[in-house]
């Protein structure tokens, strides 16, 4: 479900992503150097292979890297191509690439789907080193870290959904245990077209937030160009993380300039059906199957289920809480208020302090009439932030609802005594007076009066006045 698309309906946005993630391995893709490029001093994690010393040859592809990539593809419902694939050399000159070509494979899997967004293809490549362009300094430690590139169809219809999609995609990959966890482990190229206009490519966006900001900026920029009667020409732009704007890239290699050739130092790779089966057997339940199961087993609506399954940590969390509470209630709270709070705080249930017990306990309080739905939202926020248990949060916030009829009647009588005019108005047929009096009772109890009981008692009491 793309919830925010309405806002952009007239723009007919088509957004596609090329997402790079680092695959989790001990060794680099073509050599035995460590992939831990962050905790090592500059240029200390290198060898003749990953720095392309004259005469060096790559070792065979790291099998673990390939397996992790296959896991990603199969999890997103992709199919592997039946033909062997080979690794190509993509030539370009840049200080982070000592060989002057990047090894990048042909598509390995394709035709999948995640959160309603088509996955066109996935392939493997080597990460270049790091070039600090402002300082003119190069560190080759990252050279040869295995990367997966995931190419989506232009199915995303808003910057908000792009952000949500990426966030959940990353969580899924983390859950699968196939990617490195360090910050900066996502890089994306973003394609966007507005109203059937030309496609603009934004290169090298380095965070989920950056993708969102770059898209927001591009929409404003392109709208302004069109309003002035200008046209959008196809081009590649660069996103500046500091100023959060995109700028034209003056020079750009074309496909022909990359001079792709199959790498003669490496042999083709064939993924057998047996290999695929082996990988599939260790994968967690796919989002597709989980969706079907959740709808059947817990009788949850599609929208709720979509929100739950897009984050596997959240879907596990939900199932745990549903063991000790009404699954429909639990599903609703997890998919809406909890997810909203986590996104707001840039957390996942795996990194926040909230536990499934918080949700099931909270639902218990609501069902017993002790906690209002309105206050439950505050409880979730606090549980996410502090992890304190529900009972002590209830005490601390004084959230216990007043549902005792005697107590409510006392308050109602007081409110009616204080507001004789409103009582008169109600008697003469003014329904608004009832709302006014109800509001007074709510104020009197600091929002803790149980609403349906209060309304009923209030009506009864008013009818008794002659």
Partner 1 sequence: MVETIIDDNVIERVSEIARLKLSEKEKEKFREEFERILEEFSVVDEIKVGEKELYYVIENVNVLRKDSEPKPFNKINDIKNNFNKKEDGFIVVPRNL
Q: By CB under 8 A, tell whether 82 contacts partner 1.
A: no
The torsion angles phi and psi of 287, rounded to 5 degrees, stand at: -55, -35
Nearest to 45 by CA among 53, 35, 56, 30: 35
Q: Exposed/middle/buried for 73, CB within 10 Å: 0-12, 13-18, 19+? A: buried
Q: Exposed/middle/buried for 188, CB within 10 Å: 0-12, 13-18, 19+? A: buried
Taking residues 133 to 162 in sequence order and writing x for each that binds partner 1 by CB under 8 A, - otherwise, the string is xxxxxxxx----------------------
The tokens for 74 are 């199969």
d(CA 246, CA 253): 18
Q: By CB under 8 A, tell whether 93 contacts partner 1.
A: yes
Q: Which of partner 1, Zn ion, none lies near 84, with the C-beta cut-off 5 to 8 A by kind?
A: partner 1
Give the chain's largest Cα–Cα span: 104
Q: By CB under 8 A, tell whether 102 contacts partner 1.
A: no
User: Among residues 49 and 308, whose Cβ is nearest to Zn ion?
Assistant: 49
Q: Which of residues 376-395 bind partner 1 (CB under 8 A)?
A: none
Q: Which of 42, 77, 118, 447 binds partner 1 (CB under 8 A)?
A: 42
Q: At closest approach, how far in Å is the CB of 130 from Zn ion? A: 15
d(CA 101, CA 122): 20
Q: What is the DSSP letter of 82?
A: S
Q: By CB under 5 A, tell whether 31 contacts Zn ion.
A: yes
Please enumerate in sequence order all residues whose Cβ is within 8 A of that of 420, keeping only pairs 6 or more positions apart, or say none: none
Nearest to 328 by CA among 298, 362, 294: 298
Contact present, 145 and 139 (Cβ < 8 Å): no
For Zn ion, which stretch binds (CB under 5 A), given 27-35, 191-199, 243-251, 421-429?
27-35
For Zn ion, which stretch binds (CB under 5 A), given 23-31, 56-64, 232-240, 354-362?
23-31
Q: Exposed/middle/buried for 55, CB within 10 Å: 0-12, 13-18, 19+? A: exposed
Q: At closest approach, how far in Å is the CB of 179 from Zn ion? A: 20
d(CA 259, CA 91): 6
User: Among residues 139 and 337, whose Cβ is nearest to partner 1?
Assistant: 139
Q: At closest approach, how far in Å is the CB of 339 from partner 1? A: 35
- The footprint of Zn ion on this chain (CB under 5 A) covers a number of residues equal to 5
Q: By CB under 5 A, tell whether 78 contacts Zn ion.
A: no
Neighbours of 47 (CB within 10 A): 16
The torsion angles phi and psi of 128, rounded to 5 degrees, stand at: -75, 180
Q: By CB under 5 A, tell whether 61 contacts Zn ion.
A: no
d(CA 206, CA 208): 7
Q: The tokens 């789907």 sit on which residue?
A: 113
Q: Which of 1, 12, 38, 43 binds partner 1 (CB under 8 A)?
A: 43
Q: By CB under 8 A, tell whether 199 contacts partner 1.
A: no
Q: By CB under 8 A, tell whether 33 contacts partner 1.
A: yes
Q: At closest approach, how far in Å is the CB of 204 from Zn ion? A: 24
Taking residues 221 to 260 in sequence order and writing x for each that binds partner 1 by CB under 8 A, - otherwise, the string is ------------------------------x-x---x---
Q: Which of 9, 92, 404, 439 binds partner 1 (CB under 8 A)?
A: 92
Element (H, E) at 455: helix 451-464
Q: Which of Zn ion, partner 1, none lies near 42, with the C-beta cut-off 5 to 8 A by kind?
A: partner 1
| Three-state DSSP class for residue 137 | strand
Nearest to 359 by CA among 113, 336, 351: 336
Taking residues 46 to 75 in sequence order and writing x for each that binds partner 1 by CB under 8 A, - otherwise, the string is xxx--x-x-----xxxxxxxx---------
Q: Which of Zn ion, partner 1, none lies near 455, with the C-beta cut-off 5 to 8 A by kind?
A: none
Q: By CB under 5 A, tell whether 33 contacts Zn ion.
A: yes
Binding residues vs partner 1 (CB under 8 A): 25-27, 32-36, 41-48, 51, 53, 59-66, 84, 86, 92-95, 131-140, 251, 253, 257, 262, 264, 266-270
Binding site for Zn ion (CB under 5 A): 31, 33, 47, 49-50
């Amino acid at each position: 479900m793309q919830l925010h698309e309405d806002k952009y309906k007239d723009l007919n946005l088509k957004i596609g992503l090329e997402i790079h993630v680092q695959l989790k391995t001990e060794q680099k893709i073509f050599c035995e150097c460590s992939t831990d490029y962050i905790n090592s001093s500059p240029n200390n994690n290198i060898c003749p292979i990953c720095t392309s010393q004259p005469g060096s040859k790559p070792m065979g592809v790291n099998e673990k890297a390939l397996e992790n990539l296959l896991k990603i593809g199969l999890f997103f419902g992709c199919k592997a191509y039946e033909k062997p694939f080979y690794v190509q050399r993509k030539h370009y000159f840049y200080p982070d690439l000592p060989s002057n070509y990047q090894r990048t494979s042909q598509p390995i899997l394709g035709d999948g789907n995640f959160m309603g967004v088509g996955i066109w293809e996935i392939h493997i490549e080597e990460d270049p080193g790091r070039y600090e362009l402002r300082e003119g300094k190069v560190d080759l430690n990252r050279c040869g870290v295995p990367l997966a590139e995931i190419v989506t169809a232009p199915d995303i219809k808003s910057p908000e959904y792009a952000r949500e999609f990426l966030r959940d995609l990353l969580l899924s990959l983390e859950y699968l245990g196939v990617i490195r966890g360090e910050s900066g482990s996502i890089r994306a190229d973003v394609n966007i077209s507005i109203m059937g206009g030309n496609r603009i490519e934004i290169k090298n966006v380095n965070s989920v937030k950056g993708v969102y900001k770059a898209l927001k900026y591009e929409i404003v920029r392109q709208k302004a160009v069109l309003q002035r009667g200008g046209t959008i020409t196809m081009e590649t732009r660069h996103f500046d993380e500091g100023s959060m704007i995109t700028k034209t890239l003056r020079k750009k290699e074309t496909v022909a300039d990359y001079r792709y050739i199959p790498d003669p130092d490496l042999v083709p790779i064939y993924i057998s059906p047996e290999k695929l089966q082996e990988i599939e057997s260790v994968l967690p339940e796919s989002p597709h199957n989980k969706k079907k199961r959740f709808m059947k087993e817990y009788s949850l609506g599609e929208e709720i289920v979509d929100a739950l399954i897009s984050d596997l940590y959240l879907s596990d969390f939900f199932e745990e809480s549903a063991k000790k509470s009404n699954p429909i209630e639990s599903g609703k709270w997890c998919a809406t208020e909890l997810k909203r709070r986590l996104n707001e705080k840039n957390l996942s249930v795996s990194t926040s302090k909230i536990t499934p017990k918080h949700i099931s306990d909270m639902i218990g309080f609501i069902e017993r009439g002790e906690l209002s739905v309105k206050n439950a939202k505050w409880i979730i926020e606090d549980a996410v932030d502090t992890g304190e248990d529900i009972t002590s949060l209830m005490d601390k916030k004084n959230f216990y609802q007043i549902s005792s009829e005697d107590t409510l009647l006392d308050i109602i009588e007081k409110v009616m005594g204080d507001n004789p005019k409103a009582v008169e108005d109600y008697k003469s047929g003014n329904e608004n007076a009832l709302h006014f009096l109800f509001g007074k009772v709510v104020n009197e109890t600091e929002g803790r009066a149980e609403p349906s009981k209060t309304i009923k008692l209030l009506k009864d009491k008013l009818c008794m006045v002659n």
